[in-house]
Amino acid sequence: MIVIVLTLSPPRLRGHLTRWLFEISPGVYVGKVSARVRELLWQQVMENISSGRAVMVYSSNNEQGLEFRTHGQEWIPVDYEGLELIMRPNANQKQQKNARRKTGWSKASRYRKYGR
């Protein structure tokens, strides 16, 4: 069993997924395909979704019986002592990530702007 949830996906990708899976709600696709087809579908999702987000949940032979894959999200799957969990970064991690990104003007442009 496989479930794929897409947000902000192009129509071409949605059409490709409906060849293999049933769309039970806008952006939610469900079906039963082989592992090979599942990997090819996920590859198509990764190539064609640009600014959107994708989550895939599929059955597996582990303790939970499920595995997760995500793309374009803050939430990431994490293995915690054999259990697959979804980790959501807290506010401090988000601030650290944003602090690393430089924004604004360089020192040289500020000096020229203020006439120093």
| Total residues belonging to the chain | 116
Predicted local confidence at residue 21, as pLDDT: 94
Class of domain 2-89: alpha beta
Per-residue pLDDT, 112: 75
Domain boundaries, the chain: 2-89
Determine the residue type at 106.
S
Decide: pTM greater than 0.85.
no
Alpha carbons 7 and 73: distance in angstroms, whole number: 11
Q: What is the mean pLDDT of each run of 10 residues along the chain (116 residues)?
A: 91 89 93 93 89 89 84 80 78 56 67 72
pLDDT of residue 42: 92
pLDDT value of position 50: 81
